[in-house]
Amino acid sequence: MLKQPPFMSKQFSKISIVGLGYVGLPLSLQFARSGVSVLGFDLDQQKVNLINAGETYLKHFPSESIAEQVDANRLEATTDPSRLSEVEAILICVPTPLGDHREPDLSFVLDTARTIAPHLAKGVLITLESTTFPGTTEDELRIVLEEGSGMKAGTDFHLAYSPEREDPGRDDASVKTIPKVVGGYTSKCAEMAEALYMQALDKIHRVSSCRAAEATKLLENIFRSVNIALVNELKVVYEAMGIDVHEVIDAAATKPFGFMVFRPGPGLGGHCIPIDPFYLTWKAREFDKHTRFIELAGEINTAMPDYVISKVADALNEDGKAIKGSKILVLGLAYKANVDDCRESPSFVLMEKLEAKGATVDYNDSFVPVVPPTREHAHFTGKKSVDIEDTYELILVSTDHAEYKTFDFSGYSCSLVDSRNCISKKPKKYYNA
C-alpha cells in the first residue's frame, strides 16, 4: 500500500547524484525543481561542462529545463569527488551491465563506492538506484563504503536502496509521479530515505529491507521480459497459422480485466529488460534454484532478430535477390519509440547480422543522428543517420518512431519489412515481420 511517512523534521538542503545519464539527470532536475540544491557528479567532463553551461545531452530533456535550475543555483555538476563532503545525501545512479557470460558487473557501483567513501560526511545518506540482484546494497556496497570511510552503516551513515523507474518517452508518468519504492539497511535508514524522496516525489512505498526493494525492480522487469517473450512466440506460431497476432492482441485488449497488452518486436532493447532478469538468474544459483521462465524468455527474445532476418531474406528472395550484395536501410536505432536511447537496441544486432551476411547497411533515426560509443557495438561508433530514400533493395523497420507511422511509403518500389506493425502508408512490397 502506498503511504506517506510520519512527520519528519529532517529536511535535506543539499544532495549529490552520482551518474548523470538517463537516470541521474532527470532525478537531478526533479530534486532541483523541488528546491533542493543538487551537486551532480560524473567522470565525464563533457557532461559536467554541458550541465554547468545549462545545455542538454539528452534529447528528451531540453536545455531550457537544465538552464533554469543552473541559473537558480539549484543545479551544479562536478568531476571532483572531494566536493561530496558538502552534501547530506548521495544517490548512486551508475550502470550495472552484464558480463560476457551474463554475470552481473558491479564494477561501476563498487568503483563509485571507492571514489566517494573517503569523502563521506558523518550522518550522510547513501542510496543506490542502480538495478541489481538482492543483497548488493547490504553485502557489496556497504562493505566497500565502510572500508573506505572508516564508518559503520546504520550508525555513522545511512544506507538505502531505491530502484529507478524512469521510462523515457512516456507522457503519462514522470519521475515526480511514479511511486518510489524504498528499502533501508535499518529502519532509521529507511526513514531517512523516505524523508529525502518525499521532498521531491509524490508517493513513497516503503518495504522491509534493501533486499526487498532490489527484488521489486527485478520482478517488474522480469514480468515484462516474460510477457514480451510470450507474444513474440505467439507471433511466430500464429503467423504459421495465417493469423495476424496484432489483430488478436487488439481483440484480447477489449477485455476489461485480466489482460495486459504487450507487443512483439525484433528483440529486446534498453538498459533494463534485456539485462535485469539475469541478475536474479545468476543470484538464484547461489541458492541452488533454477529460473526456468526467465531463461526461456531470454532465449525467445534473443532469437527474434534471427526471425526478422529470415523475413528480410524471404522478402528479397521474392525479388530474386539475396541479402549478400543488397543495400538495406534500417529505420530506427533507438530501442523504443521517440527517444534517443539506443542502449542494448536490437537494431544493432540486426545491422550486425545483415552485414555478416554481406549486406551494405545504413540507418535512419532523427533521435540518434550519430551512433554514440557503446560497449558491445563499438565498430558502429560515429556512423551517421541517412535520409529515407527509395534507393535501397529493402527497408527494415526496427523502431516504431511516430514519424515512420505517418511516412508515405506508398510510392516506393523497394521492399519494406515491418517488425513493429506500424507503417500505415505501405508500399506494394510490404511484409509484416
Q: Catalytic residue positions?
A: 272
Helix axes 245-252, 210-240, angle to 10 degrees: 130
SS (H, E, C) the chain: CCECCCCCCCCCCEEEEECCCCCHHHHHHHHHHCCCEEEEECCCHHHHHHHHCCCCCCCCCCHHHHHHHHHCCCEEEECCHHHHHHCCEEEECCCCCECCCCCECCHHHHHHHHHHHHHCCCCCEEEECCCCCCCHHHHHHHHHHHHHHCCCECCCEEEEECCCCCCCCCCCCCCCCCCEEEEECCHHHHHHHHHHHHCCCCCEEECCCHHHHHHHHHHHHHHHHHHHHHHHHHHHHHHHCCCCHHHHHHHHCCCCCCCCCCCCCCCCCCCCCCCCHHHHHHHHHHCCCCCHHHHHHHHHHHHHHHHHHHHHHHHHHHCCCCCCCCEEEEECCCCCCCCCCCCCCHHHHHHHHHHHCCCEEEEECCCCCECCCCCCCHHHCCCECCCCCCCCCEEEECCCCHHHHHCECCCCCCEEEECCCCCCECCCCEEEC
Q: Is 172 exposed, middle or buried (0-12, 13-18, 19+ CB in 10 A)?
A: exposed
- Residue 403 contacts residue 425 (beta carbons within 8 Å): no
Which residues sit opposite 364 in a β-bridge? 331
End-to-end Cα separation, the chain, in angstroms: 41
Strands 158-161 and 180-184: antiparallel
